């Protein structure tokens, strides 16, 4: 399928892309957390930040910048440590907010959508896992000798974004339903926020030790 446009083994690529997207990552947890805490509309704002970030990374991979980052240890380490620090900041902020709040309900919906969009975008752009994916996996399915390899790149990129949209939509919608229950269970909400905060701290630690 799409072989005439320079796409190699499209169905293999689709299966691989689905499995990679299903692997939990900081973007996934952030969208899920936003859907649970803020509802569907702001959940999609978080997803939009992820989509934009992924689109930028895919364009950089196509332009060769992602390869440069991967093959240049200094640049790779800069991205890696920036991502780790940001994840640590997010996780620490969530843990602090959970531990300091007592019986007072925090108005999560008061957080502006622009802040959520920016956080998701930064998370996506500072994710070396995505850079490695686009360099080592994404480009394997493009026939570089095709007349217009850019079209193949666009088809694969669009496919990835569509799969991501469907998966994140499931997380956002299911998360919004969980909200209705969690809001009446303050202790459960604290436990959930604490666990997600710890997950972000764990991602930060793993990212800090990632090798190029």
Model pLDDT for residues 94-144, shown as the tens digit of each residue:
677 666 765 444 444 556 788 899 989 988 887 766 776 676 677 678 776
pLDDT at 183: 53
Whole-number average pLDDT of the chain: 76
Residue in the structure block whose two tokens are 């088809």: 155
Is residue 185 over pLDDT 70? no
For 45-66, b/e burial (b = at least 16 CB within 10 A) is bbbbbbbebbeebbebbbeeeb
Is residue 70 over pLDDT 70? no
Please check whether residue 8 is in contact with residue 143, taking contact to mean a CB–CB distance below 8 angstroms.
yes
Q: Is the pTM of this model over 0.85?
A: no
Model pLDDT for residues 8-57, shown as the tens digit of each residue:
889 988 988 888 788 777 888 888 888 887 888 999 999 999 999 988 88
CA angle in degrees (0–180, nearest 5) for 79-80-84: 115
Domain span holding position 188: 3-208
Alpha helix stretches (DSSP H) within the chain: 10-22, 26-38, 40-63, 65-71, 73-100, 113-125, 128-136, 149-182, 186-208
Q: Is 7 helix (H, G, I), strand (E, B) or coil?
A: strand
Beta-ladder partners of 7: 142
**Better-predicted residue by pLDDT, 15 or 181:** 15
pLDDT at 104: 45
> Which contiguous run of DSSP H or E holds residue 140?
none
Domain count, the chain: 1
Is residue 188 over pLDDT 60? no
Beta-ladder partners of 142: 7
């Amino acid at each position: 399928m799409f072989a005439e446009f320079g796409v190699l083994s499209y169905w293999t690529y689709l299966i691989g892309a689905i499995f990679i997207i299903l692997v939990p990552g900081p973007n996934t947890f952030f969208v899920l957390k936003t859907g649970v805490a803020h509802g569907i509309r702001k959940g999609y704002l978080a997803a939009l930040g992820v989509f934009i970030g992924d689109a930028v990374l895919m364009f950089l991979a196509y332009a060769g910048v992602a390869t440069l980052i991967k093959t240049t240890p200094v640049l790779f380490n800069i991205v890696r440590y920036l991502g780790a620090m940001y994840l640590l900041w997010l996780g620490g902020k969530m843990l602090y907010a959970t531990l300091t709040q007592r019986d007072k309900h925090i108005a999560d919906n008061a957080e502006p959508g622009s802040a959520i969009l920016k956080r998701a975008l930064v998370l996506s752009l500072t994710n070396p896992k995505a850079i490695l994916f686009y360099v080592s996996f994404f480009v394997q399915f493009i026939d570089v000798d095709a007349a217009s390899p850019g079209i193949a790149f666009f088809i694969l990129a669009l496919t990835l974004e569509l799969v991501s949209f469907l998966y994140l939509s499931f997380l956002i919608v299911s998360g919004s339903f969980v909200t209705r229950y969690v809001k009446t269970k303050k202790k459960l909400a604290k436990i959930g926020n604490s666990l997600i905060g710890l997950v972000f701290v764990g991602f930060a630690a793993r990212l800090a030790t990632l090798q190029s």
